[in-house]
Structure 1
Amino acid sequence: MNSSPIHSRATKPRTPKHKRPHTSIHPGVGAIPHKEGTSFRVWAPHAETVAVIGSFNEWEERGVDLISEEGGFWSVLVPEAKEGDHYKFRISRDGQTLIKVDPRARLIDPETGNGVIYKDSFDWGDEAWETPSLNEAVIYELHVGTFGGRKNGDTGTFREVIRRLPYLKDLGVNVIELMPPTEYPGETSWGYNPCHPFAVEATYGGPDELKFLIREAHRNGIAVLLDVVYNHFGPDNLDLWQFDGWSEDGMGGIYFYNDWRAETPWGHTRPDYGREEVRQYLRDNALMWIEEFHADGLRMDAVSYIRRSKGHDHHESVDLPEGWQVLQWINKDLKLHSHRTLSIAEDLGSNEALTAWVDDGGAGFDSQWDASFVHPLRAVLEGPDDDARDPGAMISAIIPSFAGDVFRRVIYSESHDEVANGKQRLVSEIDPENPASVWAQRRSLQAAGVVLTSPGVPMIFQGQEFLEDGWFDDHEALHWEKARLFRGIRLAYRDLIGLRRNLSGLTKGLTGQYVDVFHRNHEGKVLAWHRWHEGGPRDSTVIVLNLSHVSHDFYELVLPAEGEWKVRFNADWSGYSPDFGDADLTVIEARREETGYPAVTGGLQLPPYALVILSQD
């Protein structure tokens, strides 16, 4: 993490003008172009001198001096500097000279590593867009570098994601969540090692291409969430490290804690949440994605390492109250921008305070990833032994583990973390020898059905809708040929998503707050639950799950109401897979019977590993 060298490319010569510099009258931190030149402002409280060098002065070593301001900031207006020019800061302290990239650079040139003066002039057109409510949202998590496919090994781009927006629209998802799009070192990455937090990854296409993606997604009825990383930066190729030359005990300097609090699993680069300028840096970054890029919200990575020193699950972990305050400030300001702006935490501790209102002492997130859903779900479905499958464990996934709004949790069977780090795609865990086997198809489809019918905000990970196998690797593109090979499974996902969003108007209960697991048969491995919003026809929705390879010719259930219950989804349909049995399921008649107490009973056929969804007209 040394200071970065100067890199230059051939530029058109311009005669430098050595006029006496003066502070910039323009607000804002970073390099901001105006008609009379570019305003440069940077925070370097321990610097003795700061200058800006770049293509606008032919990388003259002297550069243009910035003038000291209050609070450790330095600024200058450079008339010669314009949009597209490359630049860096030259910082002097205690006899050392550091060449640093602007901490707020919006664009980094991939060939030279220089900051590039960027002007926000993107044409959003006549955008009329409203972010979907959480109870109607279905999230699709994707990694830009692998989602678009690789030609000759090249990293995927925003443009290739745009090309596949019609595919996502047809699938039915209405929210995409991009794994971090910020600049990272090297050619490939998951994105969770940001080295320039304000810059969009150039190999993906840079800031304008991200804006283009968001605009086109909105035109296709799809919201965009961006993954952000505030628990650490880097740690590699990190110009923020000892930015102005000051540090304590060899630690990171002004942007980081300089004691034991700096330590994270990813390096000693935890931001100093107690320092006003660092808090402002993080808050401004969060608001940039919403205000400038028109993103619909943020997913915040590993929040437990923002609020606690070693995460929530470590016995030596201690609270970082200033980290909690940063979360509150960011979330409160996101809501001030728009009450529909979404903020989602990855904390994995089922901490109700994360989704409590800021005014009530909570962190102010709208929802949080729920590990208490995915882990029991996968544990029930992965193993080969039906006798070991516990419907009770599945209930612990279906019923939210914390009180309140059920959509304050995001539920999933696959995510980037759950299909890597020693774990694989669900189909590969179910059948490592043949991930496309009928059993892998059936049980992975059951998992999708549970995700899309349980209370919570459902999320799927790129490719699971066409049985992508193995583990997630940022060097390997999605195998899009499987989307054609397993188009039936993809159709099943589309049908499930349509029911979850109530697109046919027949399953409103799946968007509602209420759930009742009304049937559990441990010996027979059958589970059934009821979802509803207000109740009644086209609202009350019943889901029946057979967790065994043993079929039931006539399985009797006590249903919520008498009359005809129509099958809205049958996972055994041969249209989803030629390997399925095509059980004849259309209508179940529920009759009221006097059996000591009033009961409405009905029966249906349950194929092996069945997933059946019912509602009334």
Structure 2
Amino acid sequence: MPSRTLETWPHGAIMLDAQHTRFALWAPDAFYVSVELEDGKSIAMLPQAEGWFETEIRCAAGTRYRYNIDGETDVPDPASRAQATDVHGWSQVVDPLAYPWRHSQWQGRPWHEAVIYELHVGALGGYAGVEKHLPRLAELGVTAIELMPLAQFPGERNWGYDGVLPYAPHSAYGSPEQLKHLIDSAHEHGLAVILDVVYNHFGPDGNYLGQYAKGFFQEDVHTPWGAGIDFDRREVRDFFLDNALMWLLEYRFDGLRLDAVHAIDNPGFLKELAQRVRQQADIGRHVWLVLENEFNQASLLEHEFDAQWNDDGHNALHVLLTGETDAYYSDFASDTTAKLARCLGEGFIYQGQATRHGHTRGEPSGHLPPSAFVLFLQNHDQIGNRAFGERLHQLCSPEALKAATTLLLLSPMIPMMFMGDETNASEPFLFFTDHHGELAEAVREGRRNEFADFAAFHDPERRKRIPDPNAASTFEHSAPSFTDNDHTALYRHLLHLRHQHIVPHLPGSVALGAQVLADGAVTARWRLGNGSLLQIDLNLGATPVTHPAPSHLLFETRAHDPALLAPFSARVALFPVGEHP
């Protein structure tokens, strides 16, 4: 029997032509596998080497099918390109060439132009609902939208991190063609589109792999979600590598954000993924690869990946803005201003230092360019993992938020905002799911117990008031409103300044360091690629700080005594080449 290669048996149902489809399933623990069609036909799959089963069937796009294992269990295709209903139902054959692209010449945007807007597709009304926001976001100055995970998950409502069918865009949001239309329309508006993908675990409901492919998992490797995925196996690696390539090549996403890669116990997989993407993307096309990585592995950002979400920077800013030091914020409770200065001057705050748990975390990052770090004031996690989903503008003063927003949008790091940030949306963003039965109860209680370490929730009765993730109202309350106001005008103005004065000169930028001026106050400088110098002075403290205003001011949040840096203020100066202070 032939050995499996990428060219012979990619996972799932692949159309060979308009009327023929090849089906391939890796099921090393099965003795017999068949393809079951909705019209009642059952076609045996031929066993191949290394646990593969394969067959070709005369069937067209739209055909509903599933697999039967050993004549006993019907399962969806783990590489289903679309589900007719939910994770337990029929999979559908998809024609990858059916959508007529209108902007096929789009090559993306260089990474240094990125201004990212993270959003939840369901909360905005599905793929068609997101499309309605594209003109507004482009006019605001956003250059990329980032979609929270789309992989088919159980039920109608979910953040997306409970996905179990990574190849299938969630059916409640629209069809694969509607997703492609959204991406096509984004490109029409000059917007890149990033997809958040989850390769570190499967959700708790609808994952059947353990019944016929136990080798997908490593029982001796534990993650917060159960047994680790075995990326040492070629079949498993290809399952996820092919998935990444599908999103980038077939759907024409402009980049991927890889969720929690610290839970992937195989750094070789990450490097192979980056190499495969770079090799197979068209020459001249800009494809972005961004990590979420608790380990702060700066080495991954030297060649393979463009950037990492800088949770360190967010956490330090959050402590300074709100005074909150519970749970993971306790790692940033002491010397917070110095930690922020390290972030601005070197990227990561934790570069090998010990955390509150006594574990060292991170690698030196000062040699990396500022664009290797995605900075944000909040994201889906930092809002949604609050018990009541409060947004930052409800937790700090307007002046402090304005100053922090200035740092976010005018620093050389890559800025990211979460949907509603630009209008100070009053609606929360809550944690929501659509589980049922015992799983729903477990998720409900688990969610409430997560907050036991927070002082405000030591009382079990108070924890009971945390919204039920499975209630439809929890999801409905999380849809933001968008009414322009002074904060929107601030975003629009700062992004105009960024695109005019900073973005053109970001390639080749280097950090020149940052200094603590006083408690809550720092000054930071960067040399841009054209030799000009950018300086940002920030005071998130309640008292003025002696620090003369620089010349060549580009923007300031509060007019004040020029010899002082006012409380809750920011000043940004851009010195031309040869006129550095």
TM-score, normalising length: structure 1: 0.74
- Count how many residue pairs are aligned between Structure 1 and Structure 2: 495
> Hey, what does 1:98 align to over in structure 2?
73
> Hey, what does 2:90 align to over in structure 1?
114
> Hey, what does 1:365 align to over in structure 2?
305
> Hey, what does 1:273 align to over in structure 2?
231
User: Which runs of structure 2 are paired with 1:170-189 in the superposition (5 Å)?
Assistant: 170-189=139-158
Look up the equivalent residue of 1:91 and give its one-letter code.
I
Q: Which of 213, 219, 243 is the equivalent residue of 2:188?
A: 219
Measure the CA separation in 2 of the matches of 1:518 and 1:405.
15
- 3-state SS of the aligned residue for 1:177? strand
Look up the equivalent residue of 2:399 and give its one-letter code.
R
Q: CA deviation at 1:353?
A: 2.1
- 3-state SS of the aligned residue for 2:216? coil
Q: Which of 542, 548, 555 is the equivalent residue of 1:556?
A: 548
> Hey, what does 1:361 align to over in structure 2?
none
1:344-385 deviations in whole A, cap 9, x for unaligned? 11112221122233xxxxxx2221122221111111121299
1:395 is the counterpart of 2:346? no
Measure the CA separation in 2 of the matches of 1:228 and 1:140.
16
- 3-state SS of the aligned residue for 1:465? helix
Q: Which of 527, 533, 539 is the equivalent residue of 1:532?
A: 527
Q: CA deviation at 1:74?
A: 2.1
8 Å Cα contact 2:375-2:408 kept in structure 1? yes
Measure the CA separation in 1 of the matches of 2:529 and 2:48.
60
Measure the CA separation in 2 of the matches of 1:173 and 1:287.
25
Q: CA deviation at 1:481?
A: 4.0
CA shift in 2, pair 1:179/1:77, >3 Å: same
Measure the CA separation in 1 of the matches of 2:19 and 2:64.
18
> Hey, what does 1:568 align to over in structure 2?
554
Look up the equivalent residue of 2:494 and give its one-letter code.
L
User: Which runs of structure 2 are paired with 1:246-325 in the superposition (5 Å)?
Assistant: 253-257=214-218, 259-261=219-221, 263-268=222-227, 270-307=228-265, 323-325=266-268
8 Å Cα contact 1:141-1:459 kept in structure 2? yes
> Hey, what does 1:59 align to over in structure 2?
40
Measure the CA separation in 1 of the matches of 2:245 and 2:491.
34
CA shift in 2, pair 1:604/1:479, >3 Å: farther
- 3-state SS of the aligned residue for 2:374? strand
> Hey, what does 2:571 align to over in structure 1?
612
1:377 is the counterpart of 2:317? yes
Q: CA deviation at 1:497?
A: 2.1
8 Å Cα contact 2:116-2:144 kept in structure 1? yes
1:143-192 deviations in whole A, cap 9, x for unaligned? 1111x1xxxxxxx2011111100111011111111110110011111101
CA shift in 2, pair 1:279/1:526, >3 Å: closer
Q: CA deviation at 1:495?
A: 1.8
> Hey, what does 1:250 align to over in structure 2?
none
> Hey, what does 2:25 align to over in structure 1?
42
Measure the CA separation in 2 of the matches of 1:511 and 1:463.
29
> Hey, what does 1:123 align to over in structure 2?
100
Measure the CA separation in 1 of the matches of 2:138 and 2:197.
24
CA shift in 2, pair 1:478/1:165, >3 Å: farther
Measure the CA separation in 1 of the matches of 2:103 and 2:425.
38
Q: Which of 517, 530, 538 is the equivalent residue of 1:545?
A: 538
1:88 is the counterpart of 2:70? no
* Unmatched segments (≥5 aa) in structure 2: 1-6, 326-333, 349-364, 433-474, 577-581
Q: Which of 493, 496, 503 is the equivalent residue of 1:495?
A: 493
8 Å Cα contact 1:390-1:522 kept in structure 2? no
> Hey, what does 1:463 align to over in structure 2?
420
Measure the CA separation in 2 of the matches of 1:169 and 1:505.
18
CA shift in 2, pair 1:556/1:473, >3 Å: same
> Hey, what does 1:577 align to over in structure 2?
none
User: Which runs of structure 2 are paired with 1:123-142 in the superposition (5 Å)?
Assistant: 123-142=100-119
User: Which runs of structure 2 are paired with 1:589-608 in the superposition (5 Å)?
Assistant: 603=562, 606-608=565-567
> Hey, what does 2:518 align to over in structure 1?
522
1:278-322 deviations in whole A, cap 9, x for unaligned? 111111111111111111111111101103xxxxxxxxxxxxxxx
CA shift in 2, pair 1:489/1:604, >3 Å: farther
Measure the CA separation in 2 of the matches of 1:481 and 1:328.
40
> Hey, what does 1:418 align to over in structure 2?
382
- 3-state SS of the aligned residue for 1:173? coil
Structure with a larger share of its residues in helix? 2
Measure the CA separation in 2 of the matches of 1:170 and 1:193.
33
> Hey, what does 2:406 align to over in structure 1?
449
Q: Which of 179, 188, 191 is the equivalent residue of 1:210?
A: 179
Q: CA deviation at 1:256?
A: 1.9
- 3-state SS of the aligned residue for 1:241? helix
> Hey, what does 1:73 align to over in structure 2?
52
TM-score, normalising length: structure 2: 0.78
- 3-state SS of the aligned residue for 1:176? strand
CA shift in 2, pair 1:170/1:335, >3 Å: same
8 Å Cα contact 1:175-1:225 kept in structure 2? yes
- 3-state SS of the aligned residue for 1:556? coil
Provide the alpha-carbon RMSD of the alignment.
2.9
> Hey, what does 2:12 align to over in structure 1?
30
Which protein is bigger by CA-based radius of gyration?
1
Look up the equivalent residue of 2:104 and give its one-letter code.
E
CA shift in 2, pair 1:272/1:349, >3 Å: closer
Measure the CA separation in 1 of the matches of 2:224 and 2:336.
34
Task: Between 414-423 and 231-240, report the one with greater CA deviation.
Answer: 414-423
Measure the CA separation in 2 of the matches of 1:229 and 1:332.
19
- 3-state SS of the aligned residue for 1:158? helix
- 3-state SS of the aligned residue for 1:418? helix
Q: CA deviation at 1:98?
A: 1.5
- Choose between structure 1 and 2 for higher RCO, CA contacts under 8 A separated by at least 6 residues: 2
1:343 is the counterpart of 2:321? no
Measure the CA separation in 2 of the matches of 1:528 and 1:235.
47
CA shift in 2, pair 1:78/1:466, >3 Å: same
Look up the equivalent residue of 2:276 and give its one-letter code.
D
> Hey, what does 2:169 align to over in structure 1?
200
Measure the CA separation in 2 of the matches of 1:412 and 1:134.
16
1:189-236 deviations in whole A, cap 9, x for unaligned? 110111111111000113111111111111111111111111111221
Look up the equivalent residue of 1:354 and give its one-letter code.
L
CA shift in 2, pair 1:69/1:392, >3 Å: closer
Look up the equivalent residue of 2:106 and give its one-letter code.
W
Q: CA deviation at 1:452?
A: 2.3
Q: CA deviation at 1:415?
A: 1.4
